[in-house]
Amino acid sequence: MKVLIIGAHGKVGRLLVKELQARKIDFAAGLRKEEQIKAYQADGIPTQYIDLTASPKEIKDSIAQSGADTIVFSAGAGGAGYDKTLEIDLDGAIKTMDLAPELGIKRYVMVSAVYSDDRSKWEQSGIRPYYIAKHYADKYLRGTNLDYTIVHPGTLTDDEATNQIKIQSNYEGGSVARGDVAKVIARALETPSSIKKDYNFVAGDESIVEAIK
């Protein structure tokens, strides 16, 4: 397995880089900015330039250069405006899903949002367009032939990871450390039974190994 982390400079993405390093899982950190690439390379981290706003051909070439057979999509517009949210979180994500089969990539892990399947929460969130983008990206992924896993963490915190979570059938409230989100992603990559599944989770008292299994 070689993983391309799309969005490796995000808060979860950076922790996932460390997690995959610790587990000795081969990966490339997908990055868009030159200064990010230089900084990662200076730390000995393998990188791959990828711009989700580029043409499908350019994105395909970037993914191919990474040599990856697995994609983790952890990218997001990050408050850059709803035009960018549409471009990155929806169109960018779907472009990678469409291109994956052309590149022989079957495994795909999506880092989604906690309310992406609950329309009743979108308006009060204050970021309704973001949830619309995540909802339809998730829905599109479920309709592909990819071996997908979609993770829906609760409110993200910078607390220390505990390696324990609570799975919820629907989001009932709660938070979870970003470090534990990275651990969930890494464990899902190692767990075949996580394929074709969605995980809603918050901090809890069940080990991530057992929760994902």
Residues taking part in catalysis:
130
What is the residue whose two structure tokens read 């890494």?
Answer: 186
Parallel/antiparallel/unpaired status of strands 147-153 and 164-168: unpaired
Both tokens of 85, joined, read 């949210």
Write the single-letter amino acid at 98: D
The separation between CA 59 and the C-alpha centre of its own chain, rounded to angstroms, equals 17
3-state SS, one letter per residue, for the chain = CEEEEECCCCHHHHHHHHHHHHCCCEEEEEECCHHHHHHHHHCCCCEEECCCCCCHHHHHHHHHHHCCCEEEECCCCCCCCHHHHHHHHHHHHHHHHHHHHHCCCCEEEEECCCCCCCHHHHHHHCCHHHHHHHHHHHHHHHCCCCEEEEEEECEEECCCCCCEEEEECCCCCCEEEHHHHHHHHHHHHCCHHHCCEEEEEEECCEEHHHHHC
